[in-house]
């Protein structure tokens, strides 16, 4: 419309908090996944919260990742308390405009509870993977993918959905064989027993329907032609195309971000990116000539809604 300009400007947040989980393991990769896009977006202050190790400080690898990513301050605090401290601020921990990063179920719940106080990326809780496989996929590869996510947390959810006539037994045997060699087998075994499954369906159409309803954090399409299926997938944190596109490559080095929505929230949330570290300021400009053209139709809208002052503010420009 001549004389009317409407635009949006990305403005980086002043301060963000990155949460990197700890406890049973140390995750310098999560530091990078949160802090690097924050810096790329132009955030002024990046604060890291991560659980302390046995000596009372985060691991050397986590501190090194924080230094490489340009983190300004590091606080050795974890769990729901860390999320509350970042959201509300304390005497030592600054209040931030946004909190990002994965965590356990308690961290994910804490982020949801403070989302009315500060912005969050997504409910990124315990790890999930759904592997959809046809006869072209190796059972040992499928088992490896399930165990890779199962070792994260006893509450991890790991599912293989095999398209008939793929043998369930071959995958179950491969899981059992690999599990015995894993140092974190106790964690993985509990995740497999409580939140794991090896399922079978009759067709790729059934698999796609299941995937879109489940909305997994990670969806691995171990198929002969995964690219043909991708357009039909609309609910997933990230989609890995082909058996060689292991989820763990995305966890560390493909350039994708591993901070992803879990618990079915892939239906509404997306993975973390630089866009999550800006807020958008919208602006608009209307010339006097354009204002005269808008005056009457806008006043009609306003009067219908019973807002006479709105109508008056529009009509005044029809007389100028």
Q: Is residue 230 part of a domain?
A: yes
Residue 217 annotated as catalytic? yes
Residue 91 annotated as catalytic? no
Q: Is residue 206 part of a domain?
A: yes
Q: Is residue 139 part of a domain?
A: yes
In a shared domain, residues 138 and 252: yes
Q: CA–CA separation, 77 vs 123, rounded Å? A: 19
Residue 183: per-residue pLDDT: 95
Residue 217 pLDDT exceeds 80: yes
Choose among 90, 98, 243: nearest CA to 160. 243
Structure tokens at 45: 């202050």
Q: CA–CA separation, 295 vs 290, rounded Å? A: 9
Measured in degrees and rounded to the nearest 5, phi and psi for residue 192 equal -65, -40
Q: Is residue 23 part of a domain?
A: yes
Contacts for 111 with CB less than 8 Å, ≥ 6 apart: 83, 99, 103, 120, 123, 124
| 10-54 pLDDT, tens digit each | 999 999 999 999 877 789 999 999 999 999 999 999 999 999 988
Q: CA–CA separation, 294 vs 296, rounded Å? A: 6
Domain region containing 106: 4-121+272-279
* Options 177, 217, 303, 310, the catalytic residue: 217
* Options 182, 218, 227, 258, the catalytic residue: 218
Domain harbouring 95, CATH code: 3.40.50.1980
| 272-304 pLDDT, tens digit each | 999 999 999 999 999 999 999 999 999 999 999
Residue 123: per-residue pLDDT: 82
In a shared domain, residues 155 and 39: no
In a shared domain, residues 226 and 299: no
| 85-125 pLDDT, tens digit each | 999 999 999 999 999 999 888 999 999 999 999 999 988 88
In a shared domain, residues 215 and 291: no
Q: CA–CA separation, 238 vs 149, rounded Å? A: 14
Q: CA–CA separation, 186 vs 192, rounded Å? A: 10
Q: CA–CA separation, 93 vs 18, rounded Å? A: 12
Choose among 197, 237, 196, 191: nearest CA to 215. 237
In a shared domain, residues 198 and 304: no
């Amino acid at each position: 419309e001549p004389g009317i300009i409407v635009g949006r400007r990305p403005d980086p947040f002043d301060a963000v908090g990155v949460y990197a989980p700890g406890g049973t393991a140390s995750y310098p990769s999560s530091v990078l996944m949160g802090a690097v896009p924050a810096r790329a977006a132009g955030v002024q202050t990046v604060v890291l919260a991560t659980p302390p190790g046995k000596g009372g400080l985060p691991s050397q690898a986590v501190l090194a990742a924080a230094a490489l990513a340009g983190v300004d301050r590091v606080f050795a605090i974890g769990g729901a308390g860390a999320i509350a401290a970042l959201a509300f601020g304390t005497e030592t921990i600054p209040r931030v405009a946004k909190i990002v990063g994965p965590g356990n179920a308690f961290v994910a719940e804490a982020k949801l509870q403070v989302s009315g106080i500060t912005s969050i990326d997504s409910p990124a809780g315990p790890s999930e993977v759904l592997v959809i496989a046809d006869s072209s996929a190796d059972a040992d590869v499928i088992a490896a993918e399930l165990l890779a996510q199962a070792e994260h947390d006893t509450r991890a959810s790991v599912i293989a959905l095999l398209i008939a006539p793929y043998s369930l037994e071959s995958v179950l045997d491969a899981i059992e064989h690999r599990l015995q060699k894993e140092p974190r087998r106790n964690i993985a075994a509990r995740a497999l027993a409580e939140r794991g499954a090896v399922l079978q369906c009759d067709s790729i159409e059934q698999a796609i329907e299941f995937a879109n309803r489940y909305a997994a954090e990670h969806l691995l399409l171990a198929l002969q032609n995964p690219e043909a299926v991708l357009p039909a997938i609309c609910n997933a944190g990230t989609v890995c195309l082909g058996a060689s596109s292991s989820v763990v490559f995305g966890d560390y080095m493909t350039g994708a971000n591993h901070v992803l929505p879990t618990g079915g929230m892939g239906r509404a949330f997306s993975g973390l990116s630089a866009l999550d570290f800006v807020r958008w300021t919208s602006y608009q400009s209307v010339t006097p000539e354009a204002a005269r053209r808008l005056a009457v139709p806008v006043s009609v809208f306003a009067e219908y809604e019973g807002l006479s002052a709105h109508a008056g503010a529009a009509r005044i420009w029809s007389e100028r």
